[in-house]
Chains A and B, each alone.
Chain A
Amino acid sequence: MTTANSGNMEHDTDFAHEGHGDISVGVSGAGASGDGSASATRITPGNALRPEDIALEVRRGTAKPSEDVAEYALRLGDDALILAQRLGHWISRAPELEEDVALGNIALDQLGHARSFLTYAGGAWDKSEDDLAYFRREHEFRSAHLFEQPNGDFAVTIARQLVVSYYQYALYSRLMQSADPTLAAIAAKAVKEVDYHRDHSAQWVLRLAGGTEESRRRMIQGLRLVWPYVEEIFEDDELTTRLAERGVAALPSSLRQEFDNRIAETLAEAGLDVPDVPQSLGGGRAGRHSEHLGYILAEMQVLAREYPGASW
């Protein structure tokens, strides 16, 4: 009976598709937008390195990080994950709809990087990206304090974005040449994306600094709030030193000069000074975190932990 019925429905013209897998909307004549070949709505998934590809390589054993490399990937992955979690909160709350979409894109880029790094890191311990994201405790995270800082107002978010994007750009540009091919591949994809994040934050710094009195005041305050956490991301330790010697990691301190130069340029263009504030002690790489991380994880992990072992 049901087959006959659905047969009936399909015969109705005008309702071109049931279900709608690939929607080729039957717009003809005057309603069509432009000619088919020059369509502005032709969509493709494109091809680029995806976390799924890395997962596949890890499963096949063609990509297997050493303990050190995994530890390092964990740091990069945690930075990106915590930032994505922060930025994701903006969607539906941004100053304008266009910015909802822009921040959404940045959050999605960061989440993509996080998934790639975590998937790769997990290869050393037979853990998935989700095992690492949802079932580690606070002290097991390796994110730096900068990434954990609250969104604040839009100026604080932009200030944090400025530091993060300039840092990540310097980092990934170097990691593209990493002796570890997987890290190099992730960085090669990520560097183009953070290049755009850099542009996004710089454009906004200019506008907020040069807009109204209020926006300038807020921009300066935003920079002061995030600046104490700059030092930590450029600190070397045994792990990064070891890995840098083998050409796997970029030594954090070696990125500082480029970062300082470019930041100085951008802030100068906006008529702003580099904030002169005491640097916080950090400790994120060793599992000593800001007070914020506990809340971030509580929210992020709540559901997964309620149903351990479940698949989603």
Chain B
Amino acid sequence: MAAGTFAEKGADLELVGITKTFPGFTAIRSLDLFIPAGSFFALLGPSGCGKTTTLRLVAGLEEPTAGRIVIGGKDVTSTKSFQRPVNTVFQSYALFPHMSVLENVAFGLRRRGIASPLEKAHEALRLVELDHLAARRPAQLSGGQQQRVALARAVVNRPALLLLDEPLGALDLKLRRQMQLELKDIQTEVGLTFLHVTHDQEEAMTMADTIAVMNRGEIEQMGAPEELYELPRTAFVANFLGQSNLFTGEVVSSTPDALTVASAGQQLVIPSARAPRRSGTVTVGVRPEKLLLLTAPPAAPSSGVNVLGPGRVIDVSFSGVSTQYTIAVPGIGDVIVFAQNMVFGPVVHVGAEVWVSWNVEHGFGLEDSPAEAAAGVADAASAAGADGDVATSALTTVKA
């Protein structure tokens, strides 16, 4: 890149067959990834899945064991970190303790000989609302303020590719929302490419054009947020990105239109177009908010609707906007239903006998074999447990 000027626009990033092995541990397994120029790309995954390692490889702070890294059409695999048109917002902030906040932000500008670095640094600090603390040392700031300085220090350089490693994790909800909007503004305004790493699925879904869900050093699924949510391909994605009810059973009939699966004596139908596996034992699922709670068996089994039941309500948890019901269906296990609170309070109580139903087109099939599905559910559950985040916890049963 030319010294003394900002990047004109974002650069695309391509990872080809990247593998990173630490002594005795493979953190990244033959990763292929293409991020188009100017897009907001989120890498979502539980902690320890290799997100930071991926960013470090792109930034040039780590050398891949195998594979190539291409930024803006140029192979940078063997390029040193300081020569790459990339800046990083580090998860650990890594603010220089011996410099003022202002000098921290101006550091990259000075190295590249950009005109009036202090002015631009002040401008970047105003953006993160910290200009009044420009003279302080990083140690005199709170964690959230340090994180914003780290953000300003990277963004001020307007790099063709900005790497953000959980850049908003230390901020409270209000400030996080505000920073999300500002980041998005900067990104669209200049057309930079953002690679945003997070374990917060909501943040990924609201900000990114494309999300890649990562688990154990591999990308499980990649796509637009709605696509990933409505049509998860693996049990891990189905439960890490929101929650899902999953049912495992044998395929009993398969037509070009519909796939019928028998699970514990109950027949479930999903559209064939939404089912990658169409024979043998398969896992199918449906999102809890797609389910309808019935207090009496449906009069006549109509086509286009799946019905499970009867089951017994074993838990009701009221959360204002909606209520989460847990229903134990004999032979199937626990089924979760999210219901909008259209009336005052829950409509049924613990112990009530209920049925659940959903439209056939809302169901989806997984690519996972039953064993993979069970492993994926366990991974998502432990990820949710480790994050202490109730909203993403997977309350799912896979019954083989």
Does A associate with B in a complex? no
Chain A interface residues (CB < 8 Å from chain B): none
